[in-house]
């Protein structure tokens, strides 16, 4: 059984969306988290080492971090076609876009919001304007991050593009708007946003 530790309208919504795309049974446990305004507290029931969401429990084992949970679940159900198999030539690009969300996209956008100067060579990610250029270039050439087929990378990194644009951390260009609109039109996305 899968138990997702969740908070409505947070990063854990990406994993609800993934479960809905996979169409497999899961349960959600709503937990409290610390908020930006200082309210809220870590829920002792949450197995995440920092009390964050999402966290997943599967048969007594925990998985945390969106990229890891996404890779884990998509690989468990290869028949659903959301992750290229290890032997597939697209596997490398798929894993790269999964890692891009926490490793490049989110830090770059948060640093810009916090007015932290980017120092080439010192940061493990590119500056926000460069990340925006890469995303716009990539998604002007293809419908999804991997090409013409939707994959779990569009849930992890595409989902982040969607929420970063909503919070005005990422510039809403026509290319990124068209991409996130195509994600939002998916029934699984709509179901997830209501949970």
Q: Could you tell me where the beta strands, DSSP code E, fall in 7-155?
A: 27-30, 55-58, 61-64
Please, what is the minimum distance in Å from the beta carbon of residue 178 to ligand GSH? 25
For 97, half-sphere exposure in the C-beta direction (CA atoms, 13 angstrom radius) is 26
Give the binding range for ligand GSH (CB under 6 A) out of 49-57, 73-81, 89-97, 114-122. 49-57
Residue given tokens 């200082």 in the structure block? 38
Among 2, 18, 26, 51, binds ligand GSH (CB under 6 A): 51
Instruction: List 178's β-bridge partners, or say none.
Output: none
Size of the site for ligand GSH (CB under 6 A): 11
- Total count of residues recorded for the chain: 195
Of 49 and 86, which CB lies nearer to ligand GSH in the complex structure?
Answer: 49
- Of the pair 129, 167, the CB lying nearest ligand GSH is at 167
C-alpha–C-alpha distance, residues 2 and 189, integer Å: 19
Lay out the site mask for ligand GSH across 92-121 (x = CB under 6 A, - = otherwise): ----------x-------------------
**Joined tokens for residue 178:** 């068209």
Instruction: Give the burial class of 68: count Cβ atoms within 10 A of its Cβ; 0-12 exposed, 13-18 middle, 19 or more buried.
Output: middle
Largest CA distance in the chain: 47
Per-residue x/- marks for ligand GSH, 6-45, CB under 6 A? ----xx---------------------xx-----------
Output the residue with the shortest Cβ distance to ligand GSH: 52
Point out which residues bind ligand GSH (CB under 6 A): 10-11, 33-34, 51-54, 65-66, 102
């Amino acid at each position: 059984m899968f138990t997702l530790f969740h908070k409505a309208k947070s990063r854990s919504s990406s994993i609800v969306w993934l479960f809905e795309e996979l169409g497999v049974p899961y349960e959600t446990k709503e937990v409290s988290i610390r908020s930006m305004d200082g309210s809220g507290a870590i829920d002792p029931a949450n197995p995440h080492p920092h009390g964050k969401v999402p966290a997943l429990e599967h048969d007594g084992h925990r998985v945390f971090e969106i990229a890891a949970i996404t890779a884990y679940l998509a690989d468990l159900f290869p028949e659903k076609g959301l992750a290229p198999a290890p032997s597939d030539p697209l596997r490398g690009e798929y894993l790269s876009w999964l890692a891009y969300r926490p490793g490049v996209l989110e830090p770059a956008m948060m640093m810009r919001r916090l007015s932290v100067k980017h120092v080439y060579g010192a940061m493990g990610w590119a500056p926000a304007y460069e990340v925006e250029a890469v995303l716009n270039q990539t998604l002007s050439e293809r419908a999804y991050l991997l090409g013409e087929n939707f994959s779990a990378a569009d849930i992890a990194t595409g989902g982040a593009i969607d929420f970063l644009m909503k919070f005005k951390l990422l510039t809403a260009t026509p290319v990124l708007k068209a991409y996130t609109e195509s994600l939002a039109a998916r029934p699984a996305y709509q179901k997830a946003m209501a949970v």
